[in-house]
Structure 1
Amino acid sequence: MEITKTIVFVLLCYVAVADAKVFGRCDLVRELKKYHFEQTFLRNWVCLIENESRSDTKKINPYPIVGGTHPSGYKSYGLFQINSKDYCRSGYNGGLCNVKCEDMLDDNIAKAAQCAQMIFKLHGFKVWYGWNRKCKSHQDKLPSISDCVMAFAG
C-alpha cells in the first residue's frame, strides 16, 4: 500500500513538472521580441526573468516585503513574477493589470507580457526584487544575448 502511494506521488510530481514551460535563453529572447519588448532592455528583462522565475512560466513564490517577511496571501506568479498585491487577483480579473493571477502561469505569455510591460511603463524595473538584487548594480554583467540576436537576424 505504501509503495502504491509513493508511486502515485512520484507520478503526480512528474506530471506537475512536465507541465511547466521553462524557456532557454534564446527561446526567451524570441518570446520577448514577439511581444515587442524593447531591444534596449532585452538583457535586463532576461536577467530579471532568470532571477525572478528561473524562466519558468508556472513559478509561484510568496510575495516578499522589505524585512524578509511575507504578507498573508500575496504571491508572485509566472515568468515575470507578477504579484497579487498590486497587479493581479487570484480567481478573478483585477489589480492594475486587470487579470487573473492564474493567467500569469500560462505558457502563452501574452497576458503576462502585456502586464509586465505596463508595470515597466509605470515603475521601470525597480519593483522587481530579482532585478534589484541581481541586475541593477551589475549592468556590465547582464546575461549575453548576442548569440540569440545574431541567430534571429539570419
Structure 2
Amino acid sequence: MEFREIDKYNYWDCIELTIDDNQEGFVADNKQSLVEAAYEDGLYTLGIYLEETMIGFILYNYDETFPGWSMSRFMIGKQFQGKGYGKQASIEFLEYFKNKHNTDKLYISVSLENMLARKMYSSIGFTEIKEVEYAFGDKYYKEIQMVKEL
C-alpha cells in the first residue's frame, strides 16, 4: 500500500471513487474535498494505492479546534471495501504521517452513527475523547472526536 499526493494526473481517479449508499453522510464527496483543498490553505490530499490502483482517499490538515493534526476525510472506494484495506490503510497512514510531520498525536472525527468506523479506529488505538455537534451549510452533524498517540 502506498500514499500519493492528488495532482493533475490522478485527480480523476479520486473523483471516480464512491461510497456505498448506506455510507451517505459519513464522509464528504471526494469532489467537494478536492475543491476545498484547492482553495483553502493547509489541506493535504492523498490517494491510497494498491499497486497502481487508487482504492481510497485521505484529506488531512492542522485543525485549530483541537489544536492538532487531523485526518479530516478518509474513504475506501465501495468496490474495494470489505477486504481489510481500510484498516490496513489507516495503520500505514499513521506511520506515514508520523514520519512526515514528526508529531505525537493524530485526531479524527467520526459520525456518532458510524459504528463500523468507530470500532475500526478503536481497534488500532484511537480513543474517543468527546462528542461534538455543528452545522455546515444546511446540514447538521453529530460526531465523536478521537485521538491516537503516535
TM-score relative to the length of structure 1? 0.30
Higher alpha-carbon Rg:
1
Which of the two has greater helix per residue? 1
- TM-score when scaled to structure 2? 0.30
Bigger proportion of residues as strand: 2
Comparing both chains, which one has the higher relative contact order based on Cα–Cα distances under 8 Å and sequence gaps of 6 or more? 1
